[in-house]
Structures are given as C-alpha cells and as structure tokens.
Amino acid sequence: MYNLFVPCSTSILLGSLVANLSAANCYKADHLKKPENWALVEKAKYYYIAGFFLTVSPESIQLVAEHAVANNKVFMMNLSAPFICEFFRDAQEKALPYMDYVFGNETEAKTFSKVHGWQTDNVEEIALKISQWPKASGTHKRITVITQGADPVVVAEDGKVKLFPVILLPKEKLVDTNGAGDAFVGGFLSQLILEKPIEDCVRAGCYAANVVIQRSGCTCPEKPDFN
C-alpha cells in the first residue's frame, strides 16, 4: 500500500566500524534521473535520506525533495553526525526547508544549535527551533524527533514539545549500541507509513533500538515481537 524510498550513501561493516564507500561515494544525479531509477522515486510516497548523503550528492537530495513537495509526499532526513552539521551546513540548510521529519540524537542537535548560533544546549528548545525552520511547502508540518540514549525521546511539533520514555535496559544486557539510531528510525517509519499516531511511531522506534543494542553488531532477531 505504501512505498518508502531510502537512498543509501555508504556500505558499513558495523562490527568493525570500517566504512567502504566504494561506488556510493561516486553517486551522481544522472544515475537517479535514469527512467528506471526515477520510476522508483515516483512510485514511493515516503522518502528517508540519511544526512551522510549530503557528502555525496546534494543534487540528488534536492531532486527527491522537490518531487516530494510537488506531489504532496513525505520527505525525511537525519542529522546523522555532528560533522555533517558543521562541515556540510550549506547543503543541509538547502535541504532542511523540504524536510517534514528531522531525526537526530542529542549530540547532533547540540552541534546544530552551536553552528547556527542559538546559544543553547537545551535539546527540547533546539528540537522546537528546528521544527519551526521555514518550510518549502505548507502541506505538511515539520516534526523533529531527537533521541537521547537512555533519556526520553524529544518530539517537537505544532509549537510544542513532548517527551516519550525509552525502554530501560539493565547494564548487563547492553551489548552493542552500534546501529541504535538507525534502528530507531526504522521502527519509527514502520508505523509512520501505516499512518499510526506519533506515540506508536516512537514506541516502535524505541522497541527496535532496544532490540539492536542487546545484540552484537547491527542485527535483528528473525521475527520481531512488537505489538
């Protein structure tokens, strides 16, 4: 019923944190424009692009973002890393007006605030400011979702901030935090495309992250038990 278009900028071996950029680092907009590839863009209703792709092909991001706005679709991105906010600020700012959902963690949010001279480390305030950044279209409001490890997830929308508790985990069960942020977004999107309320989206995100951090490497059980 719903389709999700997710461009990937890197191929990562999470167990050793060795990134193999290979062909991903050579991605060009011309590849995206090929009829057989653009057909996938046209078919999708939801778009999620990691912030890391800003280092590879901002032009491709803009093409997808503009298509989403023109066709009343949902466009989403992730702050992804502090260095993206610092060294790819211009490209990030160009894409931000198109973002209907912005994901990130507290460190990335604080770096974003510092780069833009907001003079605050308050994650709730930062999330609210990002949600109120001017949009390219008024069709969809912007919702900012910031994770904070074991602290509550911050969600800013409609000029208000809500906090959602995460699933607390005993230290002895914490195995590997690699991939926790990506798992959270994956869980979140699984409910978003089903048009579930934000509470269910966050709950699914927390569930997915909780499962991943109890396993070595970014792995998941064969069958999830999320309800």
Three-point CA angle 179, 184, 189, nearest 5°: 125
182 is catalytic: yes
Q: Catalytic one among 100, 121, 182, 225?
A: 182
How many whole angstroms separate alpha carbon 227 and alpha carbon 224? 9
Contact 184, 147 (CB under 8 A): yes
List the beta bridge partners of residue 145.
103, 155
List the beta bridge partners of residue 47.
5, 75
Phi first, then psi, for residue 20 (nearest 5°) are -110, 95
Phi first, then psi, for residue 10 (nearest 5°) are -140, 155
Structure tokens at 120: 């605050």
Contact 102, 50 (CB under 8 A): no
Residue 172, amino acid: E
Helical residues (DSSP H) of 21-57, grouped into ranges: 29-33, 35-43
Q: Which contacts of 207-210 are long-range, i.e. CB under 8 A and separated by 24 or more positions?
A: 207/167, 208/183, 208/184, 209/147, 209/166, 209/180, 209/181, 209/183, 209/184, 210/166, 210/167, 210/169
Active site residues: 182
